[in-house]
Amino acid sequence: MVLDSMFSNSLITRRNALKIALASATGMGVKKVWDNLDSEDVFAQEYFGLNSLKQRAAAKGLIYGAAIPKDYLAIDKKLADSFVRNCGILASDTDLKWDALRPTPDKFDFSKGDWLLRFAKKQNIPFRGHTLVWYQAFPKWFEGVLNRNNAEKLMTEHIATVTKHYAGQMHSWDVVNEAIEPYHRRSDGLRETSWFKFLGPDYIELAFRIAAENDPKALLVYNEASLVYDLRSQEMRRDFTLKLLDKLKSKGTPIHALGIQSHLTGHLNILDAKKLRDFLADVASLGLKIMITELDVNDFELPFDIATRDSLVASKLEEFLSVILEERAVTTVITWGLSDRYTWYSRYKRADSAPVRPLPLDSDFKPKLAWDAIAKAFDNAPKR
């Protein structure tokens, strides 16, 4: 693997070679050049950066990054270093959901979100927020408090306070997440969430308008799950999503992009490239950008053997990204985590109890075949 060899024993030799090359190229003394670099990691980041995922994506006008909870990024230096080396955007995972931000009905706790924003700023990369309106991740107090009379106030105040707090500093917000559920059998496909129950179908438009009023700079995203496969339920979800986006756009709603979560399934061959391509083109024709917001591959049903498993995970990523990246409206690819050490899938056990391997780096932060697959997909992608 590319990075394996780059960060192995040859580092010192290559480092020395580079010192000399740099010194002669710039006419500066070796010491002076070198004094500006304070660690091996900075070295790797600065001088091997051209091969990292973020650089390969950037070469095509794309942004690559990962969603990582603050608690992992803050305590694990290797994770932070791997993140810095590979990622050109940071996304929140758990830290900007209602249950993280709202310890009590009248209190907001921005400490973890603020930490993530500072981290991103320090690296000079954008930060994106997930998610303002969802049907999950509510704090314990929420159910006892929400009712028909206060639902609109609760939702709009939440969106306004949070978007105002981060105004002008966000790359994008997942304003509404997973609002569609074909199994709920409504003709518009909307999921019957508490927001829907109390506010009706227009809660979605309202959410976007409040977000835009308070942070006119952020890209406002509708984020949805289970959109990519050739399954009846996903085909229905694609249709309902298109109808929803079309309706929002025709009403002049400030919506800028569709987020496609992309939690892929390792053991199923159910991707229909043409159907997916057509869907992406339809979204793009509405004047919307497309972001891949939560990419990973669940390997629960894949064989135990690591080489076999990793190669199957990698081939799913390559197959998916090769279709997705053909569409020029796709701007961003974000994996839901970076290293197998920290993945939301580890809470669900494989039958053989083997640790799961859904992400680009293994649990020791070494690039896997999944990393290569993503790198290759960026290399093969047309330029934006």
Q: Report the interface residues with ligand XIL, using CB under 6 A.
A: 93-94, 177, 225, 261, 294, 344
Shorter beta-carbon distance to ligand XIL: residue 261 or 298: 261
Question: What three-state secondary structure class fits 290?
Answer: strand
Q: How far is CA 384 from the centre of its chain?
A: 19
Greatest C-alpha distance within the chain? 72
Tokens of 123: 């690296």
CB of 261 to ligand XIL, least distance (A): 6
The CA–CA distances, whole Å, from 217 to 7, 167, 260, 335 equal 39, 7, 21, 24
Shorter beta-carbon distance to ligand XIL: residue 3 or 370: 370
Query: Quick one: which H or E segment has residue 129?
Result: strand 127-133
Shorter beta-carbon distance to ligand XIL: residue 166 or 344: 344
CB of 382 to ligand XIL, least distance (A): 28
Question: What three-state secondary structure class fits 249?
Answer: helix
The single-letter code of the amino acid at 199 is L
Positions of E strands within the chain: 63-67, 90-91, 127-133, 172-177, 219-224, 257-260, 263-265, 289-298, 330-335
Shorter beta-carbon distance to ligand XIL: residue 64 or 134: 134
CB of 340 to ligand XIL, least distance (A): 14
Shorter beta-carbon distance to ligand XIL: residue 196 or 344: 344
CB of 82 to ligand XIL, least distance (A): 18
Q: Which of 178, 181, 224, 318 is catalytic?
A: 178
CB of 188 to ligand XIL, least distance (A): 21
CA distance 87 to 67: 10
Could you tell me which of 171, 177, 7 has the C-alpha nearest to residue 90?
Answer: 171
Q: Which of 205, 224, 294, 318 is catalytic?
A: 294
Shorter beta-carbon distance to ligand XIL: residue 156 or 298: 298
Could you tell me which of 133, 268, 141, 157 has the C-alpha nearest to residue 214?
Answer: 157
Could you tell me which of 335, 323, 344, 345 has the C-alpha nearest to residue 368?
Answer: 335
Could you tell me which of 193, 195, 194 has the C-alpha nearest to residue 205?
Answer: 195
CB of 260 to ligand XIL, least distance (A): 11
The DSSP symbol for 333 reads E
CA triple 266-272-277, angle to 5 deg: 115
> Which residues, in sequence order, are bridge partners of residue 127?
90
Shorter beta-carbon distance to ligand XIL: residue 55 or 265: 265
Shorter beta-carbon distance to ligand XIL: residue 3 or 211: 211
Positions of E strands within 139-242: 172-177, 219-224
301 is catalytic: no
The DSSP symbol for 243 reads H
Q: What is the dihedral of CA 334, 378, 369, 54, to 10 degrees?
A: -50
Q: Is the peptide bond before 131 cis (omega within 30 degrees of 0)?
A: yes
CB of 189 to ligand XIL, least distance (A): 18
326 is catalytic: no
Positions of E strands within 5-121: 63-67, 90-91
CB of 357 to ligand XIL, least distance (A): 17
Tokens of 161: 């306070």
Chain residue whose CB lies nearest ligand XIL: 344
Residues marked active site are found at: 178, 294
